[in-house]
Amino acid sequence: MKQLLAIISTVVIITSLVVIGYTFRQVQDQRTSLADDLQLRTALLADSFKESIRPSYLTNSTATLQSLLDKFENREQLLGLAVYDSKGVLFATSAELPNDLTNNNNIDTAEKAMAGDDAQGDFAKFTEGNVYVFATPLHQDENVIGALVVYQHADYIDAAIRHTWNNNLLKLLIQALLFSIAVVLILRWIIYRPIIRLAEAIRQARTGKYGHKSPIQSHAFFKPITAEIAKMSQSLFLARTAASEEARMRLEKLDSPWTAERLKEFFKAYLKDRKIFVVSNREPYIHKKIKNEIQAVVPPSGMVTALEPVMEACGGLWLAHGSGDADRLTVDKNDKIQVPPDDPKYTLKRLWLTDKEVKGYYVGFANEALWPLCHLSHTRPIFRKEDWLEYRKVNGKFAQSLLSEIKDVQRPIILIQDYHFALLPEMIKNSRPDAEVGLFWHIPWPNAEIFSICPFRKEILEGILGADVIGFHTQQFCNNFLETVGKEIESVADLEKFAVTHKGHVSNIKPFPISVAFAAEDDNDIPPKSSVLETLGLNPKILGVGIDRLDYTKGLLERFKGLEFFFDSYPAYKGQFTFLQIAPPSREGVEKYRQFNAEVTKEAERINQKFENNSWKPIVLLKENYTHEEIYPLYRAANVCLVTSLSDGMNLVAKEFVSARGDESGVLILSQFTGAARDLKDAIVINPYSAEETAEAIYRALVMPAAEQHRRMKKMREAVKNYNIYRWAAEFLKAITSLV
């Protein structure tokens, strides 16, 4: 729209300048022509009047002269006549000639005519308007004895000029309107619509939503472009067909890497395109009003990072809480929207919660009770009966919404995500025993003694055991869960198969270490410049990065203490090494998180005041959310990445960093309390509670030889590549659908 207005404005401005310039020249010529015509006619009138007036003037016959002057008055544009004697004294005048035309201040023209013995004319402004004053000398023999002055109306010249301006400006307005309409029509029918069709055809080619025949329609104006795009579309189709065939053949090869294409082929071959339903609290896309525009934002969430590629590959429906301030404005009448926004591949259904429900279910029970209970991070869980009731109510609300979606679906596959929905599996199974339900617990599971402090532990465990498969990141978490069930619930445990039979239903407990979509090799060839660093004006010699939510489980305070100890121990790195910490605020409705936010800010400021020198400071803290497209260049630019979680189910930041390092350089420092430490054994593994150990790990990373960096990074990249998110999804789906 802005571009269209700019084009129309440009056309109108150029047209206006041309018309105004032409009109200005036209009125100048018109003024000159009308003035010359008036002067000529006045001169002829004066000559004819002079011969009639001179005899009466010579005989000093005032009455006769007055009669003649009155006789000639009011002819066409003639205002009147006046006769002056040789001394410039008014001798006679027309009866109705205004006095201000003949007073002493207005006899210059007559005096000039008599002095030069030549006719004189000039335009002058009077109360009557614009007047042309013409004076011609009267003679007796060769002597000048007086002057005849003729006064002509000249307002009609200005009126003609105004008429020309008005007429041309009206024409300009009409032309501007016609030009604007023409521009809109040309842009819409000749340029815009064909471009839209080209864009749609390219999108279909990119997403593979057409067959072997290209959907691109030829257009004369864009014929060279459409011809090339058609060829490119055919090439993409052939390449996609080859990739799909290769993926199909790889299904039989267990050691081949999993890709989005292979997961699609697996879904078609083994699951016969059955529909997948994902349930999570956090939605994959949040719509927000930003600067009067609605924008889709990807929330900072490891769960979203992991599941988004799976849903893009398999399609289906994702049910989540709609939390964005513009979420309601973007859904249809069924509260659904197709996502991703630029290339829809699955359906997002939003469920709305009241403030009371959010406070009790999410802020209260999920994040003030279950989160600290499972993370063992020295934050006391808070159990409130009213929060538990809201938690149970919201789980029921999600169950109702999901059941309405699957009522006509045979044997639906349901993937329930995380600790927000511990009760949901049992609710679904009670109503739809044919549904195949998997619950993945994205956070740690504590040991039985710790979990036993939860007043609602039996209801939670019974709700979880409604799932056919219960997935955790590590075998240790599986062990803890099985131990907890054995202590709290009357059930039969099969330790060999790691299965629990409760109320006649069998639940399998399995480890599925979640991962990321491994970056394509092409993405790592030429690392792009980091827009974040450019915006900050940072160009450090050595860069360290940390990417975490502002969460007390991520060990940010311990990380900063380790950095402080590092600069105390190795002062040579002052001014050389900058640590960039990106930490968007999280769960700001929870008091503990607000306190932690303030503590992190205060600690960063204290350390910066201690070490900063000129424009350099050791820690740059950014409490903003950045997209993956903005963060990946940071990963590639960093010399070292710190992950110092005090307790973490997996931590996908570590795997994202490894995935981004196509150059096989850089060093990962990883907390031993993360699930990722079991997969990425070639990271420098530390105890984040020890500032000295963290400082020594940073120094070791910065002096590590390039050859050792490459060796370590290559092994970690192989681990992430071989067990990426697509393999995780395939194995989880296989387990749920009893394919293994």
CATH of domain 276-351+411-511: 3.40.50.2000
pLDDT score recorded for residue 87: 81
Q: Give the bridge partners for 136, in sequence order.
A: 148
Burial, 28: exposed, middle or buried (Cβ in 10 Å; 0-12, 13-18, 19+)? exposed
Q: Which CATH number is correct for 2-159, 3.40.50.300, 3.40.190.10, 3.10.129.10, 3.30.450.20? A: 3.30.450.20
pLDDT score recorded for residue 373: 96
Say how many CA atoms lie within 13 Å of 733 toward its Cβ.
27
Q: Which CATH number is correct for 521-723, 1.10.240.10, 3.40.50.10860, 3.40.228.10, 3.40.50.2000? A: 3.40.50.2000
pLDDT score recorded for residue 254: 53
pLDDT score recorded for residue 63: 67
Query: Distance between CA atoms of 283 and 288, rounded to whole angstroms?
Result: 13
Query: Distance between CA atoms of 643 and 622, rounded to whole angstroms?
Result: 16
pLDDT score recorded for residue 739: 62
What is the pTM assigned to this prediction? Answer: 0.71
Cis peptide leading into residue 340 (ω within 30°): yes
Query: Distance between CA atoms of 104 and 568, rounded to whole angstroms?
Result: 100
Output the six-digit token pair for 464. 């979880």
Query: Distance between CA atoms of 194 and 218, rounded to whole angstroms?
Result: 9
pLDDT score recorded for residue 85: 83
Place of tokens 């292979």: 262
Query: Distance between CA atoms of 401 and 603, rounded to whole angstroms?
Result: 45
Which residues 6+ apart lie within 8 Å of 201 measured at CB?
214, 215, 216, 217, 229, 233
Burial, 720: exposed, middle or buried (Cβ in 10 Å; 0-12, 13-18, 19+)? buried
Q: What share of the chain is helix, strand, coil (3-state, %, to 5)?
A: 55, 20, 30
pLDDT score recorded for residue 528: 65
Could you list the mean pLDDT of each consecutive 10-residue stretch along the chain, which spans 740 residues?
A: 71 81 85 84 79 73 66 68 82 76 69 84 80 85 83 83 86 80 74 71 64 51 64 62 54 68 84 89 92 84 83 91 93 94 90 96 96 88 96 97 95 95 97 96 96 97 97 96 95 91 95 86 57 87 95 96 97 96 90 93 96 93 89 94 96 95 96 95 97 97 97 96 91 84
